[in-house]
Amino acid sequence: MTLALSKNLKSHAEQKNVLDFSKQREQTQGDRMISITTYGASASAKDNTAAIQSAINAAKAAGTTVDVPAGTFKHAGVLNLDGVQMTGHGDSSVLAATNAATQAVMLTGTGAGLSNLKLVGAGGERLASYEAGGLSVLNATNFTVDHVTIDHASAAGMHISGSSNGKVTNNVLSYTGADSIHFSNYEGVNHDIEVAGNRIDHSGDDGVAVVSYAADGAASYNINVHDNAVVDQIWGRGYSVVGGHDIVIEDNYYNNNQAGFAGVYIAAEGEYGTLPVDNVKVEDNVIVSAGGNHGSIHVYASSGPVTDITIDNNWIYNSKNTDVILNGGSGQSGISVTNNDDYGPAAFLSDQAGAKPVVSGNTENAAKAAPTLTEWLAAHNDGGTAAPAPVTSAPAPITTAPSPAPTTPAPTAPTPAPAGLTLIGNSGGNTLKGGAGNDILNGHGGKDMLTGGAGSDSFVFDTRSEANGDTITDFAHGLDKIDLSHIDANSRAAGNQGFTFIGEQGFHGTAGELKAYHSGANTYLAGDVNGDGSADFTIKALGAHSFATADFIL
């Protein structure tokens, strides 16, 4: 298979300035480094957290680099690289987490970096905190993450927030609980960051996601996502921009979305409170077997403008829905769809939003075999230091970690539906998205956005304070359940009392009543636990619903 290089697709070396980090590694080896074993870390120890952190602190004081020798070093706590570089000897240097909630390596400060080693998470249920991810880059500047393998992170494989002037290059991420590489503006704006040469497989949610929420301040910008590959995705979108501006998604590869979502997704989502999108370039990408519920490339606006989107010179194969879909209402403008090659079998373009894009130079061809990842790499990588292709079979269980193995399906099965997920948030405002199975979602504290997805899902609320202000985005009557059984419905009686659902009646001044009411386009559930006739907690369900007792576990 030969890609159409005549379509102005320059050579890798001409297009990009991807650094050869193997040279950087050689230079670093000549410097004096501090080994974690010097401070007591041992492959036989049950928990090396204190020893590894001591080595990190010593390296910071000495202005040098931390070395992780070959071996598997277990740690139960978070490791913080504050302005410190840590390097290893490839995948033989392993930091293996034993506690899902505190498994992350944190990069903070100026000049922090991680390279040439492997992070193995504890797996298990999907979590949402920074500490439960594989690597969290928070308020860091001039940082690097290069040739790092991240397996089975319980949250995001890599979460980047409030950071700038960084490079995320040549990494391999597999079987993450949430997005594989996730940008948020929780800690501040991200800007001037390059994401290149990474290989992602079996992502639990979006492959590479730039997300900016209105509640968290300004949008991230100047993020360059190029020369990456995302394959065999379990849930979510391949490459997404959901709030942000001046973003480039270029020269990437995508193959096989198992959940029916887009290979590339550009959106301003009012239901999730995200910021507008402006000046995004989607160019020279190969997108294979994407879409279903979405188009292979999907542009969506339910709030805020989505403007100046360039979709140019992409190759789209075996789309499960229309290749390019523009939908979601007004607010889309300055969109161009040009010089793309479509290889069937679906239609090419659907302008459901009335965006009236500029359309020219696109070619609708007969269906043909799409390039494999190996073929794409062979035709594409004539420069740089590409990471190895992702694993093609599920990794062997990590016998040193006590947590259960992840519930994601084995990749050798023919695109099975994902097993049910258990998604648990923390005290912040979380966004939890289920999969195609029968999922359990519990946002805990904060005002959470809960999306069950397909299957029969349970939305669980432990206390009225944790329930108050949460939003269920896609409740399906006859399938899903809202579980309020953990909340004491009558604070004036001993024990844990159950609620009585009274439909859309007003409260009667009786403790333990649960009612539904409508406001605008949405439906609300309110509970009175002390009998004063006022709501003690409120849960929003997007859309118009007619709730019945059968929808609840009371």
Q: What does 32-53 look like in DSSP terms, one character per residue? A: -EEEGGGGT--TT-S--HHHHH
Write the DSSP assignment of 199-241 as a string of letters.
Answer: EEES-SS-SEEEE-BGGG-SPPEEEEEES-EEEEESSS-SEEE
Residue 300 falls within a domain, yes or no?
no
Residue 308 in contact with residue 281, Cβ under 8 Å? Answer: no
Residue-level pLDDT at 16? 39
Residue-level pLDDT at 472? 95
Number of independent structural domains in the chain: 2
Tens digits of residue pLDDT in 247-268: 999 999 999 988 889 999 999 9
Tell me which residue range forms the domain holding 96: 33-122
Residue 521 falls within a domain, yes or no?
yes
- Position 409 confidence tier, pLDDT thresholds 50, 70, 90: very low
- Position 381 confidence tier, pLDDT thresholds 50, 70, 90: low
Domain boundary among 122, 146, 180: 122
Name which residue leads in pLDDT, 209 or 31.
Answer: 209
Residue 164 in contact with residue 191, Cβ under 8 Å? Answer: yes
Residue-level pLDDT at 14? 36
Residue 91 in contact with residue 118, Cβ under 8 Å? Answer: yes
* Rounded average pLDDT over 112-131: 92
Q: Please, what is the end-to-end C-alpha distance for the chain in angstroms?
A: 59
- Of 20-29, 215-224, 276-285, 529-538, least confident by mean pLDDT is 20-29
Residue 431 falls within a domain, yes or no?
yes
State the Rg of the chain over Cα: 24
Domain boundary among 100, 122, 144: 122
Phi and psi, residue 108, nearest 5°: -135, 170
Within 13 Å of residue 250, how many CA atoms lie on the same side as its CB? 17
Using the predicted structure, report yes or no on whether residue 207 has a pLDDT greater than 90.
yes
- Whole-angstrom Cα distance, residue 203 to residue 198? 13
Residue 340 in contact with residue 349, Cβ under 8 Å? Answer: no
Phi and psi, residue 245, nearest 5°: -145, 155
Closest C-alpha to 178, from 66, 256, 100, 79: 100
Q: What's the Cα-to-Cα distance from 119 to each of 14, 74, 93, 150, 432, rounded to whole Å?
A: 33, 10, 9, 5, 24
Binning the chain into helix, strand and coil, the percentages to the nearest 5 are: 10, 40, 50
Residue-level pLDDT at 304? 78
- For 279, counting Cβ atoms within 10 Å of its Cβ (0-12 exposed, 13-18 middle, 19+ buried), the class is middle
Residue-level pLDDT at 393? 32
Secondary structure class of 449 (helix, strand, coil): strand
Structure tokens at 472: 């269920």
Q: What's the Cα-to-Cα distance from 428 to each of 148, 377, 444, 448, 511, rounded to whole Å?
A: 29, 40, 8, 8, 29
* Rounded average pLDDT over 403-416: 31
Number of neighbouring beta carbons within 10 Å of residue 43: 15
Residue 247 falls within a domain, yes or no?
no
Residue 197 in contact with residue 174, Cβ under 8 Å? Answer: no
* Amino acid at site 254: Y
Closest C-alpha to 113, from 176, 175, 74, 66: 66
The CATH code of the domain that includes 431 is 2.150.10.10
- Whole-angstrom Cα distance, residue 329 to residue 230? 29
Residue 402 in contact with residue 124, Cβ under 8 Å? Answer: no
* Rounded average pLDDT over 516-544: 93
- Of 285-299, 341-355, 381-395, least confident by mean pLDDT is 381-395
Average pLDDT, the chain: 85
- Whole-angstrom Cα distance, residue 384 to residue 89? 20
Residue-level pLDDT at 364? 87
- Position 430 confidence tier, pLDDT thresholds 50, 70, 90: confident
* Rounded average pLDDT over 337-364: 89
Residue-level pLDDT at 388? 44
β partners of residue 75? 97
Burial string for 136-165 (b: 16+ CB within 10 Å, else e) reads bbbbbbebbbbbbbbbbbbbbbbbbbbbbe
Using the predicted structure, report yes or no on whether residue 427 has a pLDDT greater than 70.
no
Secondary structure class of 336 (helix, strand, coil): strand
Domain boundary among 122, 147, 182: 122
Using the predicted structure, report yes or no on whether residue 482 has a pLDDT greater than 90.
yes
Tens digits of residue pLDDT in 15-64: 333 333 333 333 344 357 999 999 999 999 999 999 999 999 999 999 99
Phi and psi, residue 516, nearest 5°: -120, 145
| Contacting residues for 326 by C-beta, under 8 A, at least 6 apart | 299, 332, 335, 349, 350, 351, 352, 353, 355, 357
Residue 445 falls within a domain, yes or no?
yes
Residue 174 falls within a domain, yes or no?
no
- Position 2 confidence tier, pLDDT thresholds 50, 70, 90: very low
β partners of residue 172? 149, 199
Using the predicted structure, report yes or no on whether residue 1 has a pLDDT greater than 60.
no
Using the predicted structure, report yes or no on whether residue 320 has a pLDDT greater than 80.
yes
Structure tokens at 270: 């009012």
Residue 198 falls within a domain, yes or no?
no
Annotate 81-101 with three-state secondary structure. EECCEEECECECEEEEECCHH
Q: What's the Cα-to-Cα distance from 85 to each of 68, 82, 93, 143, 386, rounded to whole Å?
A: 11, 9, 15, 9, 21
| Contacting residues for 121 by C-beta, under 8 A, at least 6 apart | 97, 100, 103, 134, 150, 151, 152, 153, 154, 177, 401
Q: Check: pTM over 0.75? Answer yes or no.
A: no
Residue 337 falls within a domain, yes or no?
no
- Position 355 confidence tier, pLDDT thresholds 50, 70, 90: confident
Residue-level pLDDT at 94? 97
Strand order through the sheet with 440-442: 126-127, 422-424, 440-442, 458-460, 481-483, 552-553
Q: What's the Cα-to-Cα distance from 549 to each of 414, 499, 515, 540, rounded to whole Å?
A: 38, 10, 10, 17
Residue-level pLDDT at 330? 67
- Of 3-12, 155-164, 425-434, least confident by mean pLDDT is 3-12
Q: What's the Cα-to-Cα distance from 506 to each of 13, 468, 485, 503, rounded to whole Å?
A: 68, 19, 22, 9
